[in-house]
Structures are given as C-alpha cells and as structure tokens.
Amino acid sequence: MPRWQLAIVGLLVFLLHACAPAQEPAGFEPEIRQFELRDATNPPPANPILFVGSSSFRMWTNLADEFPGLPILNRGFGGAHLSDVNHYFDRVVRPSRRFVGIGNVTAAA
C-alpha cells in the first residue's frame, strides 16, 4: 500500500477515534448547568477568548494571570473529549464566539 494511502487510513482511524464519546455526554450536565447559572449572575466578558475542553483547562486556575488584559473564559469540564464539546457546543462554545482549543481530542482507551 502506498504511503499516501496509509496516511489517509491513519488519519481516518484517528478522526473516528477522536470523535467517539468518552462517556455519556449527559454526565457533564451538572458542570454545564453550573456555567449557565454562574453566567446568569456574573456575566462573562464580552467576546471572550474561550478555553474549552477537558481538565487540562478546568485545572488551569491561573489562566487569566497567564493572559493579562485579555477577556478570558475558562470552560474546561470533567474529562471532556471532542465529542462532549460538540454535544454542548450551543451552550458552551457558541455564546462566546471565540475559540482557543480543546483538551483530550482522543477518546479514552
């Protein structure tokens, strides 16, 4: 098999694996609801730079200190994977209109 075909097969396998749900997305509902409740009483900055994804972002407690003067919004939740972020996209990502990255883009083994 030519190298380019192997590369395409490898890419397809990676993408299929990356989009597989790591857990039932509804398992993150309490965390997502907390974001919504917090935003209702303490609105996030206008047009923030959004960090969304797994505990890589959730546990990054000094994110605003690392990017001083920028409107930062940390939306890390649980051990979220790409499929989880996709599931909650309209509630977590779309309102922010900016996007930085996702942690744990591959599914758990």
Per-residue pLDDT of the chain (109 residues; tens, 9 = 90+): 566 555 565 555 555 555 555 556 778 999 999 999 999 999 988 888 888 888 788 888 888 898 899 888 888 888 888 888 888 888 888 777 665 555 555 444 4
Segments making up each domain of the chain, as ranges: 3-92
Which residues 6+ apart lie within 8 Å of 28 measured at CB?
A: 77, 78, 80, 84, 88
pLDDT digits (tens, 9 = 90+) for 83-99: 888 888 888 887 776 65
pTM: 0.65
**C-beta separation of 80 from 17 below 8 A:** no
